């Protein structure tokens, strides 16, 4: 049986060292070489005794690496990275720059089961969950090509909370002081609002920021845009978010994609304020980024500004996010757009 050492937390590597009759501190060397120095050759981790390295290799241990197949750049500075997984599936990650802020947006699944109708990834067949190693390696590879980032968002292809165990393992790895040392305040996990894992997340010893794809303040419109909302009403979602906020003290970000004639009316803005009234929250209004076959149109910019101003007047912290990276299909909701039409029906 083979073991990908990149997929293990430091505690799990310490167990592995102990079970081989070695000192657990050797796991720290192994972890640091993999997650800080980006080493993929076990034989080059020379602080480990040669006999231990040989034993690990003999037992089928290895350190995986994604294959970076293509890099694309938009004139606005956004970059998109296409990775090929060992089984041939493709995933995408994005690097965004905004003055001194560099943010990486990474994927957690190949395809997505949630089927949001305004999102290209949601139109792809679900292929599989990524391993924690495949999640963290997107960060390492982009950083080795372009330098360090300050922020990380789990907002690429896939629903992170639908791959809960591997996503939590990846957070543990990226947060570790002997590895990439990314502070939880610099990590945002985006979800379309699956409530049970939100509660499980609150019970962890570390808590990322949460960004919730809301897109409507009424169940009927939300179900039309997001099929998963038929199982998770807004009432249930808000209850789970209040619980997360009570347990963690974290402010919640809501993502709201502005869609012409669907969710951009003054009535929708009032409902939104009513719905989120008692939460410590802020809202990102996102101009819809169409993809081939998308059934919706973006709201006109003037209507987005009016919607934002209603929210702001009521005291809601609101940011408008206009298109970034559209020329390379790297904008929010466009990942996987180039795979549409290539997949078998």
We find the least distance from the C-beta atom of residue 101 to ligand SF4, in angstroms, to be 22
Residues that bind ligand SF4 (CB under 6 A): 112, 114-116, 119, 121-122, 157-159, 192, 213
Q: Is 105 a catalytic residue?
A: no
Nearer to ligand SF4, 34 or 211 (CB): 211
Strand partners, 46: none
We find the least distance from the C-beta atom of residue 116 to ligand SF4, in angstroms, to be 3
Residue nearest to ligand SF4 (CB): 122
CB under 8 Å to 242, separation ≥6 — which residues?
Answer: 278, 279
Nearer to ligand SF4, 116 or 281 (CB): 116
Neighbours of 107 (CB within 10 A): 28
Task: Classify 92 as helix, strand or coil.
Answer: strand
Nearer to ligand SF4, 45 or 114 (CB): 114
DSSP per residue over 206-238, as a string?
Answer: S--EEEEE---SSHHHHHHH-GGGGTS-HHHHH
**Given the residues 92, 166, 255, 287, the one annotated as active site:** 92
Q: Is 239 a catalytic residue?
A: no
Query: Alpha carbon of 46 to those of 8, 30, 42, 178: distances in Å?
Result: 19, 10, 8, 17
Nearer to ligand SF4, 171 or 214 (CB): 214
Which of 199, 234, 2, 228 shows the shortest CA–CA distance to 117?
228
CA gap 167, 330 in Å, rounded: 22
We find the least distance from the C-beta atom of residue 158 to ligand SF4, in angstroms, to be 6
**Given the residues 232, 287, 332, 338, the one annotated as active site:** 332
Which of 224, 286, 282, 292 shows the shortest CA–CA distance to 259?
286
Nearer to ligand SF4, 112 or 241 (CB): 112
Going by the DSSP 8-state scheme, the letter that residue 195 receives in this structure is H
We find the least distance from the C-beta atom of residue 113 to ligand SF4, in angstroms, to be 7
We find the least distance from the C-beta atom of residue 79 to ligand SF4, in angstroms, to be 19
Catalytic annotation, residues: 92, 332
């Amino acid at each position: 049986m083979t073991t990908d050492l990149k997929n293990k937390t430091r505690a799990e590597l310490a167990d592995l060292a102990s079970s081989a009759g070695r000192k657990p501190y050797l796991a720290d060397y192994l972890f640091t070489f993999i997650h800080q120095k980006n080493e993929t050759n076990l034989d080059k981790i020379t602080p480990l005794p040669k006999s231990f390295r040989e034993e690990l290799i003999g037992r089928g241990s290895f350190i995986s690496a994604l294959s970076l197949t293509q890099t694309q750049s938009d004139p606005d500075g956004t970059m998109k990275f296409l990775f090929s997984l060992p089984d041939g599936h493709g995933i995408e990650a994005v690097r965004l720059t905004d003055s001194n802020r560099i943010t990486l947006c990474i994927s957690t699944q190949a395809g997505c089961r949630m089927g949001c109708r305004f999102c290209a990834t949601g139109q792809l067949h679900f292929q599989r969950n990524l391993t924690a190693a495949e999640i963290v390696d997107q960060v390492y590879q982009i950083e080795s090509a372009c330098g360090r980032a300050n922020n990380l968002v789990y907002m690429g292809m896939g629903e992170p909370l639908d791959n809960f165990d591997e996503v939590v393992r990846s957070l543990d790895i990226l947060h570790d002081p002997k590895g990439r040392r990314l502070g939880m305040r610099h990590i945002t996990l985006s979800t379309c609002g699956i409530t049970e894992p939100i509660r499980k997340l609150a019970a962890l010893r570390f808590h990322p920021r949460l960004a919730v794809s809301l897109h409507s303040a009424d169940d009927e419109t939300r179900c039309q845009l997001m099929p998963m909302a038929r199982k998770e009403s807004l009432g249930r979602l808000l209850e789970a978010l209040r619980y997360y906020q009570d347990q963690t003290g974290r402010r919640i970000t809501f993502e709201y994609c502005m869609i012409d004639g669907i969710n951009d009316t003054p009535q929708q803005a009032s409902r939104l304020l009513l719905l989120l009234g008692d939460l410590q929250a802020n809202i990102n209004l996102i101009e819809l980024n169409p993809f081939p076959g998308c059934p919706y149109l973006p709201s006109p910019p003037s209507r987005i500004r009016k919607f934002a101003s209603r929210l702001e007047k009521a005291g809601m912290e609101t940011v408008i996010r206009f298109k970034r990276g559209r020329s390379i299909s790297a904008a929010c909701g466009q990942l996987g757009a180039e795979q549409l039409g290539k997949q078998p029906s």
